[in-house]
Amino acid sequence: MNTLTRRQREFLQREQLFLDAARQILRSDGVAAFTIDRIAGNTEYAKGTVYKHFTCKEDILCALCHESLVHLGEAFSKALTFPGNSRERMMALGTAYLQFTTRFPEEFDILIAVRTNNVRQKASEKRVEAMIAADQGAHDVMRSVIGAAIAAGDLTLPTTTSLDEACFGLWAMAFGLLALAPANDVIDSLELPSIPIIMVNQMNLLLDGYGWRPLSTEFDYQQTFARLLKHMETLQ
Protein backbone atom coordinates (compact mmCIF):
# COMPACT_ATOMS: atom_id res chain seq x y z
CA MET A 1 0.00 0.00 0.00
CA ASN A 2 1.56 3.26 -1.12
CA THR A 3 0.15 6.46 0.31
CA LEU A 4 1.45 8.47 -2.63
CA THR A 5 -0.46 9.01 -5.84
CA ARG A 6 1.04 7.84 -9.10
CA ARG A 7 1.95 11.41 -9.96
CA GLN A 8 3.77 11.93 -6.71
CA ARG A 9 5.66 8.71 -7.22
CA GLU A 10 6.60 9.75 -10.73
CA PHE A 11 7.77 13.06 -9.39
CA LEU A 12 10.07 11.38 -6.90
CA GLN A 13 11.31 8.96 -9.52
CA ARG A 14 12.17 11.82 -11.84
CA GLU A 15 14.01 13.60 -9.09
CA GLN A 16 16.10 10.48 -8.67
CA LEU A 17 16.60 10.33 -12.43
CA PHE A 18 17.97 13.87 -12.40
CA LEU A 19 20.27 13.15 -9.50
CA ASP A 20 21.58 9.98 -11.15
CA ALA A 21 22.24 11.89 -14.35
CA ALA A 22 23.97 14.68 -12.43
CA ARG A 23 26.21 12.21 -10.63
CA GLN A 24 26.94 10.43 -13.89
CA ILE A 25 28.03 13.67 -15.57
CA LEU A 26 30.13 14.58 -12.59
CA ARG A 27 31.90 11.24 -12.55
CA SER A 28 32.57 11.01 -16.26
CA ASP A 29 33.27 14.62 -17.22
CA GLY A 30 34.00 16.47 -14.01
CA VAL A 31 32.69 19.61 -12.38
CA ALA A 32 33.18 21.74 -15.50
CA ALA A 33 30.61 19.75 -17.49
CA PHE A 34 28.13 19.90 -14.64
CA THR A 35 25.40 22.18 -16.07
CA ILE A 36 21.63 22.19 -15.80
CA ASP A 37 21.26 22.04 -19.57
CA ARG A 38 23.37 18.92 -19.64
CA ILE A 39 21.30 17.25 -16.95
CA ALA A 40 18.11 18.16 -18.79
CA GLY A 41 19.54 16.98 -22.12
CA ASN A 42 20.76 13.65 -20.78
CA THR A 43 17.40 12.89 -19.20
CA GLU A 44 15.38 14.22 -22.16
CA TYR A 45 13.52 16.70 -20.02
CA ALA A 46 13.41 20.45 -20.34
CA LYS A 47 15.49 22.72 -18.20
CA GLY A 48 12.39 24.16 -16.58
CA THR A 49 11.43 20.71 -15.34
CA VAL A 50 14.72 20.38 -13.54
CA TYR A 51 14.00 23.68 -11.83
CA LYS A 52 10.66 22.27 -10.68
CA HIS A 53 12.73 20.03 -8.42
CA PHE A 54 15.71 22.13 -7.44
CA THR A 55 15.95 25.81 -6.67
CA CYS A 56 19.41 26.22 -8.18
CA LYS A 57 22.59 24.48 -9.16
CA GLU A 58 23.91 24.51 -5.63
CA ASP A 59 20.70 22.86 -4.52
CA ILE A 60 21.50 19.89 -6.76
CA LEU A 61 24.99 19.84 -5.35
CA CYS A 62 23.58 19.63 -1.85
CA ALA A 63 21.19 16.88 -2.88
CA LEU A 64 24.09 14.89 -4.34
CA CYS A 65 26.08 15.55 -1.22
CA HIS A 66 23.19 14.28 0.84
CA GLU A 67 23.09 11.06 -1.16
CA SER A 68 26.84 10.65 -0.86
CA LEU A 69 26.66 11.09 2.87
CA VAL A 70 23.93 8.49 3.09
CA HIS A 71 26.09 6.11 1.06
CA LEU A 72 29.01 6.86 3.31
CA GLY A 73 26.88 6.11 6.35
CA GLU A 74 25.87 2.81 4.79
CA ALA A 75 29.48 2.03 4.02
CA PHE A 76 30.23 2.71 7.66
CA SER A 77 27.55 0.32 8.78
CA LYS A 78 28.83 -2.34 6.41
CA ALA A 79 32.37 -1.79 7.63
CA LEU A 80 31.21 -2.64 11.12
CA THR A 81 30.52 -6.22 10.05
CA PHE A 82 34.29 -6.56 10.41
CA PRO A 83 34.97 -8.55 13.55
CA GLY A 84 37.61 -7.21 15.88
CA ASN A 85 38.33 -5.14 18.96
CA SER A 86 36.95 -1.62 19.39
CA ARG A 87 39.97 0.08 17.90
CA GLU A 88 39.99 -2.19 14.88
CA ARG A 89 36.38 -1.24 14.31
CA MET A 90 37.31 2.42 14.37
CA MET A 91 39.95 1.63 11.78
CA ALA A 92 37.25 -0.07 9.73
CA LEU A 93 35.41 3.25 9.55
CA GLY A 94 38.57 5.06 8.48
CA THR A 95 39.16 2.47 5.79
CA ALA A 96 35.61 2.80 4.51
CA TYR A 97 36.05 6.57 4.29
CA LEU A 98 39.33 6.12 2.46
CA GLN A 99 37.79 3.73 -0.03
CA PHE A 100 34.84 5.99 -0.62
CA THR A 101 37.04 8.97 -1.48
CA THR A 102 39.41 7.05 -3.71
CA ARG A 103 36.61 5.36 -5.58
CA PHE A 104 34.63 8.54 -6.18
CA PRO A 105 37.03 11.49 -6.11
CA GLU A 106 34.57 13.79 -7.89
CA GLU A 107 32.01 13.20 -5.20
CA PHE A 108 34.54 13.91 -2.52
CA ASP A 109 35.27 17.15 -4.39
CA ILE A 110 31.63 18.06 -3.81
CA LEU A 111 31.85 17.18 -0.16
CA ILE A 112 34.73 19.62 0.04
CA ALA A 113 33.01 22.30 -2.03
CA VAL A 114 29.91 22.12 0.12
CA ARG A 115 32.04 23.15 3.09
CA THR A 116 32.37 26.67 1.72
CA ASN A 117 29.77 29.22 2.74
CA ASN A 118 28.89 30.15 -0.81
CA VAL A 119 27.18 26.87 -1.63
CA ARG A 120 25.35 26.54 1.66
CA GLN A 121 23.87 30.02 1.35
CA LYS A 122 22.50 29.50 -2.16
CA ALA A 123 20.98 26.07 -1.65
CA SER A 124 17.49 25.71 -0.22
CA GLU A 125 17.13 25.31 3.51
CA LYS A 126 15.40 21.97 3.04
CA ARG A 127 18.36 20.42 1.23
CA VAL A 128 20.93 21.79 3.61
CA GLU A 129 19.02 20.40 6.55
CA ALA A 130 18.71 16.99 4.90
CA MET A 131 22.43 17.08 4.24
CA ILE A 132 23.23 17.92 7.82
CA ALA A 133 20.97 15.11 8.97
CA ALA A 134 22.82 12.64 6.75
CA ASP A 135 26.12 13.97 8.07
CA GLN A 136 24.77 13.39 11.51
CA GLY A 137 23.86 9.83 10.57
CA ALA A 138 27.44 9.00 9.62
CA HIS A 139 28.65 10.72 12.75
CA ASP A 140 26.29 8.61 14.83
CA VAL A 141 27.87 5.43 13.55
CA MET A 142 31.27 6.72 14.56
CA ARG A 143 29.94 7.82 17.91
CA SER A 144 28.57 4.38 18.58
CA VAL A 145 32.01 2.89 17.97
CA ILE A 146 33.63 5.30 20.38
CA GLY A 147 30.87 4.69 22.89
CA ALA A 148 31.37 0.94 22.63
CA ALA A 149 35.11 1.38 23.20
CA ILE A 150 34.44 3.34 26.37
CA ALA A 151 31.92 0.76 27.54
CA ALA A 152 34.40 -2.03 26.85
CA GLY A 153 37.04 -0.24 28.89
CA ASP A 154 39.40 0.12 25.91
CA LEU A 155 39.15 3.87 25.95
CA THR A 156 38.96 6.47 28.70
CA LEU A 157 38.46 10.00 27.46
CA PRO A 158 40.13 12.84 29.33
CA THR A 159 37.64 14.62 31.58
CA THR A 160 38.02 17.71 29.37
CA THR A 161 37.03 15.84 26.20
CA SER A 162 33.45 14.94 25.34
CA LEU A 163 32.54 12.00 23.14
CA ASP A 164 31.33 14.44 20.48
CA GLU A 165 34.63 16.23 20.50
CA ALA A 166 36.58 13.01 20.11
CA CYS A 167 34.32 12.08 17.23
CA PHE A 168 34.81 15.46 15.61
CA GLY A 169 38.57 15.32 16.03
CA LEU A 170 38.86 11.92 14.40
CA TRP A 171 36.58 12.99 11.59
CA ALA A 172 38.56 16.17 10.99
CA MET A 173 41.84 14.31 10.87
CA ALA A 174 40.52 11.88 8.28
CA PHE A 175 38.88 14.64 6.26
CA GLY A 176 42.04 16.74 6.33
CA LEU A 177 44.23 13.88 5.19
CA LEU A 178 41.93 12.91 2.35
CA ALA A 179 41.31 16.48 1.22
CA LEU A 180 44.97 17.45 1.16
CA ALA A 181 46.32 14.19 -0.17
CA PRO A 182 45.64 14.65 -3.89
CA ALA A 183 47.27 18.08 -3.94
CA ASN A 184 50.31 16.74 -2.19
CA ASP A 185 50.81 14.17 -4.88
CA VAL A 186 51.97 17.16 -6.87
CA ILE A 187 54.56 18.23 -4.37
CA ASP A 188 57.45 16.03 -5.37
CA SER A 189 59.78 17.45 -2.78
CA LEU A 190 57.85 15.82 0.05
CA GLU A 191 58.84 12.29 0.84
CA LEU A 192 55.47 10.77 1.52
CA PRO A 193 54.29 7.19 1.44
CA SER A 194 50.97 6.36 -0.21
CA ILE A 195 47.77 7.80 1.20
CA PRO A 196 46.52 4.55 2.75
CA ILE A 197 49.79 4.14 4.64
CA ILE A 198 49.70 7.75 5.85
CA MET A 199 46.10 7.22 6.89
CA VAL A 200 46.91 4.15 8.98
CA ASN A 201 49.98 5.73 10.52
CA GLN A 202 48.27 8.97 11.47
CA MET A 203 45.22 7.21 12.82
CA ASN A 204 47.49 5.04 14.92
CA LEU A 205 49.23 8.08 16.33
CA LEU A 206 46.03 9.93 17.13
CA LEU A 207 44.38 6.88 18.68
CA ASP A 208 47.53 6.25 20.70
CA GLY A 209 47.21 9.86 21.83
CA TYR A 210 43.73 8.99 23.08
CA GLY A 211 45.21 5.97 24.84
CA TRP A 212 42.82 3.73 22.95
CA ARG A 213 43.79 0.15 23.85
CA PRO A 214 45.38 -1.91 22.55
CA LEU A 215 47.99 0.71 21.61
CA SER A 216 49.80 0.46 18.29
CA THR A 217 52.86 -0.68 20.24
CA GLU A 218 50.86 -3.62 21.58
CA PHE A 219 49.07 -4.67 18.42
CA ASP A 220 49.72 -5.06 14.69
CA TYR A 221 47.27 -2.66 13.05
CA GLN A 222 49.07 -2.88 9.71
CA GLN A 223 47.86 -6.44 9.59
CA THR A 224 44.39 -5.35 10.60
CA PHE A 225 44.40 -2.87 7.75
CA ALA A 226 45.35 -5.56 5.25
CA ARG A 227 42.54 -7.77 6.51
CA LEU A 228 40.17 -4.82 6.38
CA LEU A 229 40.89 -4.18 2.72
CA LYS A 230 40.10 -7.80 1.95
CA HIS A 231 36.94 -7.71 4.02
CA MET A 232 35.74 -4.59 2.22
CA GLU A 233 36.23 -6.24 -1.16
CA THR A 234 33.92 -9.09 -0.23
CA LEU A 235 31.24 -6.55 0.73
CA GLN A 236 31.26 -4.15 -2.16
Partner DNA sequence: GTCAAAGCGTGACGATACGTCACATTTTGC
Partner DNA sequence: GCAAAATGTGACGTATCGTCACGCTTTGAC
How big is the CA angle at 89 (ends 88 and 94), to the nearest 5 degrees? 90
Q: Is 171 in the site for a second copy (CB under 8 A)?
A: yes
Cis amide leading into 193 (omega within 30): no
Output 102 or 124, the one with its CB closest to DNA.
124
Taking the CA atoms of residue 225, residue 226, residue 227 and residue 229 in that order, the dihedral angle to the nearest 10 degrees is: 80
Residue 165 is which amino acid? Answer: E
Output 90 or 231, the one with its CB closest to a second copy.
90
| Contact residues for DNA, defined by CB under 7 A | 5-8, 10-11, 14, 34-37, 44-49, 51-52, 55-58, 122
Of 91, 103, 102, give the one whose Cα is nearest residue 205: 91
Which of a second copy, DNA, none interacts with 219 (beta carbon under 5 to 8 A by kind)? none
For residues 212 and 149, the answer to whether their CB atoms sit within 8 Å is: yes
Neighbouring C-alpha atoms within 13 Å toward the C-beta of 111: 22
Output 40 or 178, the one with its CB closest to a second copy.
178
Q: Is 226 in the site for a second copy (CB under 8 A)?
A: no
Rounded CA gap, 117 and 219, in Å?
Answer: 42
Binder among 35, 176, 226, 229 for a second copy (CB under 8 A): 176
Binder among 65, 80, 145, 177 for a second copy (CB under 8 A): 177
List residues near a second copy by CB under 8 A. 30-32, 105, 109, 112-113, 115-118, 120, 132, 135-136, 139, 158, 160-162, 164-165, 167-169, 171-177, 179-180, 182-184, 186-187, 189-193, 198, 201-202, 204-210
